[in-house]
Amino acid sequence: MDMLLRTTLCTGLILAASHNLTYAEQTQSDLAQSLSQAVSELSPRYSQVALLAMDMANRQVIYSQQAETLFIPASTQKLLTAVSAMAQLGADFRYVTELWSDAPIRKGHIAGSVYLRFSGDPTLTQADLKAIFASLVKQGINRIDGHLYLIGDKQEQLQAPGWVWDDLGICFAAPVSSYIINQNCIYGQFSPSTANKPSQVSLRTGSYGIKISSDAVFDQKAIREFCQLDLMRLGQNSYHLRGCYPGAEAIPLAIAVTDPLKFAQDTLTFQLKGEMLLAGKVQLGASLPKKAKLIASHSSAPLPVLLDTMLLKSDNLIADSLFKQLGKSYFNTQGSFTNGAVAMNRILTDLGIDLTNAKIVDGSGLSRYNLLNAKQLAAVLTLMHQDSRFSPLMASLPQAGVSGTLKYRLGYNKPPLKQQVFAKTGSMQGVSNLAGFIRLPQRSDTLFVVLENGMSPDVKKQHKMSFNAEFLQHLISILQLPSPTTEVVNIAIN
């Protein structure tokens, strides 16, 4: 070993001993000082930042800045949803969509009506509904002599308070209802004009009952100073596209339905025309008859699979459907955003999470009324890391450069962050958050929370690496420095 390095290390040991510091404490102090210097150089000038880093081997805080200040969490809120759902609903929970009837079956006919009870399954598809009725055919039933009644929650909260109005026509903010089919989202295309026809909107197969009119145009030479598309939601799953789009190529459309019940009615009306004869109509039902019997059903994947998709892909609909399910399960009543918020708060408090001054509004993080601080997010991550009930959730966190929302993110798809960072992202206008773990070879996990609020939209347009990526790069470089304890052993041997 270099003589100067030996002298420096020995001097460090003497100084640490003279100040009654352990080697670990000296190391933590050095880490904090190094990070503090890096943060002062990296911190954005026009936004607010909260930071927390902690060694999971000894639960010692490596660095902390504004860790008790409340921030908009965005999709890091889904960490709370995942832990709460596992605690309250359990790993065996599934959504079940059920078909019931109280009528006798005669010669392949159901001599009366049937009742389809929706459960708010965020993964239910048109193919799943088709399979339910196909199972009747396998039972020898090919006709329903009465009506098909759809049973679901009444007077539902379809969006949480604090959701941005501009987002409500977009699929990532689709209405959260007991009636969900194909994620309550329809797809289409807006095509430019040709010599024979004007610009037009076309919809994919399966967009039953959806109507979109348009007088929008393409600014193919991009000569207009102001050119923007605007989707007007007219109700009853009708829309109007207006304005202009700068370009000459067709663009895809992904539009959230406004009326989930009507979409369910229109979808089933069309499907049953092809699958079996329905003498009556598809309409809203009040409740199941007392003597009804279950005749067919469809189950979703179990909760761990749903949570895996929710965390990896940051799926808002799964998160908020589970959020309402928390309220339903905890209070034994119809689920809502209101009782889901109270349920989550109580569940996490019972698990030892201090949510003092926090504000919980939804499960997805779409609401700008949500407020959490870095310490609260760190407490949830610690629970995931150390409690066997929640530790399977660790495998569902996106891995930098490998999976989920961190697979292609700038700075995370190459060393030193690639494959070393496992974390939940949280992004929306003005918000760039990340919370998770750094996993380095031959070192204990390091928990971190980086919250940035008030970020200018112009920053994203610059296509530069985010502050959280730069901070984590510095954190990793410091964590990878040789341990003083290791060097002391070498000195003793030599």
Q: Given the residues 75, 177, 207, 466, select the one marked as catalytic.
A: 75
Res. 488 pLDDT band, cuts 50 70 90: very low
pLDDT at 162 over 80: yes
Mean pLDDT of 353-381: 98
Which range among 234-238, 355-359, 375-379 shows the weakest confidence by mean pLDDT?
A: 234-238
pLDDT at 166: 84
pLDDT in tens, 314-346: 999 999 999 999 999 999 999 999 999 999 999
Highest mean pLDDT range out of 74-78, 458-462, 485-489?
Answer: 74-78
User: CB of 398 within 8 A of CB of 74?
Assistant: no
Residue 350: how many CA atoms within 13 Å on its side-chain side? 11
Identify the bridge partners of residue 255 per DSSP, sorted by sequence position: 170, 186
- Known catalytic residue at 207: no
CA 77, CA 427: separation in Å to the nearest integer?
Answer: 11
Per-residue pLDDT at 486: 39
Task: For the beta carbon of residue 191, count every other beta carbon within 10 angstroms.
Answer: 16
pLDDT of 6 above 60: no
CB-based contacts of 428-432 (< 8 A; 24+ apart in sequence): 428/72, 428/74, 428/75, 428/365, 428/366, 428/368, 429/164, 429/457, 430/47, 430/454, 430/455, 430/456, 430/457, 431/72, 431/74, 431/455, 432/466, 432/467, 432/468
pLDDT(484) > 70? no
pLDDT (average), residues 103-124: 96
Alpha carbons 44 and 34: distance in angstroms, whole number: 18
pLDDT at position 21 is 44
pLDDT class of 27 with cuts at 50, 70, 90:
low
Cα distance between residue 381 and residue 375, in whole Å:
10
Report how far residue 256's alpha carbon sits from residue 170's, in angstroms, rounded to the nearest whole number: 5
- Interval 342-357 mean pLDDT: 98
- Do 404 and 395 touch, CB atoms closer than 8 A? no
Calculate what percentage of the chain has a pLDDT beyond 90: 79
Mean pLDDT of 139-145: 94
Instruction: Indicate the range of 211-215, 218-222, 229-233 predicted with least confidence.
Output: 218-222
| Average pLDDT in the chain | 90
Q: Judge whether residue 285 has pLDDT over 80.
A: yes
Residue whose pair of structure tokens reads 């009528």 in the numeric block = 103
State residue 16's pLDDT score.
Answer: 39
Tens of pLDDT, residue by residue over 46-68, are: 999 999 999 999 999 999 999 99
Strands 293-299 and 421-428: unpaired
Q: Distances from the Cα of 206 to the Cαs of 181, 233, 234, 438, in angstroms?
A: 10, 19, 20, 43
- Classified as helix, coil or strand, 295 is strand
Q: How confident is the model at residue 24 (pLDDT cuts 50, 70, 90)?
A: low
**78 noted as active-site residue:** yes
- Determine which one of 64, 101, 199, 314 is catalytic: 314
Average pLDDT over residues 418-443: 97
- Interatomic CA distance for residues 254 and 343, integer angstroms: 32
Q: What is the CA radius of gyration of the chain?
A: 27
Q: What is the DSSP letter of 419?
A: T
What is the pLDDT at residue 373? 98
Output the pLDDT for position 223.
Answer: 84
- Collapsed DSSP state (helix, strand, coil) of residue 239: strand
Q: Which of 78, 262, 375, 424 is catalytic?
A: 78
Q: Residue 133's closest CA among 148, 111, 112, 152?
A: 148
* Share above pLDDT 70 across residues of the chain, in percent, rounded to a whole number: 91
Q: Are 96 and 336 in contact (CB under 8 A)?
A: no
Query: Which pLDDT belongs to residue 25?
Result: 58
User: What is the reported pLDDT for 231?
Assistant: 93
Reply yes or no on whether 119 is catalytic: no
